[in-house]
């Protein structure tokens, strides 16, 4: 990790379709100098990816972790699931450009990847960019604030998740 980089607390989780990728990413995130907490799955047995994704998202919404990485077969299911938690912005990305923009322009806290879509080396590069990119604010700040306004409206009559 470069001298100017910040060590992050990272929540990691995935389903059985992405178990091997999750394991590779856990090692990679730690090698980057970040603290990583593995929310499972811990083997290749079937699990409901929504359960894992929501546990990761809730931990981030609660301030226990700054960022999250979720993996499943496509990255779609975990992203949809995580975005059901109030205050969470999860973005699916399968290239470094999208991962960087998810952070710099959308202030996404969670990156979703598909193990059947990207290989482990590309996934590591995507994660490196996501964890190393800061939100730039500027013109994007107003856009992210508007998303939060719509979210508050949607959650107004619902209990906290």
In the residue annotation, 20 being an active-site residue is answered as: no
Strands 110-114 and 67-72: parallel
What is the rounded CA–CA span in Å between residue 50 and residue 45? 15
DSSP 35-98: EEEE-S--SSS---HHHHHHHHHHHHHTTS-SEEEEEESSSHHHHHHHTTSTT--EEE-SSHHH
What is the rounded CA–CA span in Å between residue 157 and residue 36? 34
Nearest to 131 by CA among 34, 4, 17, 13: 34
Catalytic residue among 17, 18, 72, 113: 72
The set of catalytic residues is 72
């Amino acid at each position: 990790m470069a001298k100017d980089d910040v060590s992050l607390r990272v929540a990691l989780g995935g389903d059985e379709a992405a178990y091997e990728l999750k394991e590779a990413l856990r090692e990679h995130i730690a090698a980057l100098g970040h603290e990583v907490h593995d929310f499972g799955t811990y083997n290749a047995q079937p699990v409901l990816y929504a359960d894992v994704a929501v546990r990761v998202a809730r931990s981030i919404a609660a301030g226990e972790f700054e960022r999250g990485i979720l993996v499943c077969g496509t990255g779609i299911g975990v992203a949809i699931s995580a975005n059901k938690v109030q205050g969470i912005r999860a973005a699916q990305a399968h290239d470094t450009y999208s991962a960087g923009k998810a952070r710099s322009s959308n202030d996404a806290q969670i990156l979703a990847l598909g193990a059947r879509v990207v290989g482990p080396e590309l996934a590591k590069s995507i994660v490196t960019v996501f964890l190393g990119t800061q939100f730039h604010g500027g013109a994007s700040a107003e856009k992210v604030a508007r998303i939060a306004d719509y979210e508050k409206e949607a959650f107004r009559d619902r209990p906290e998740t």
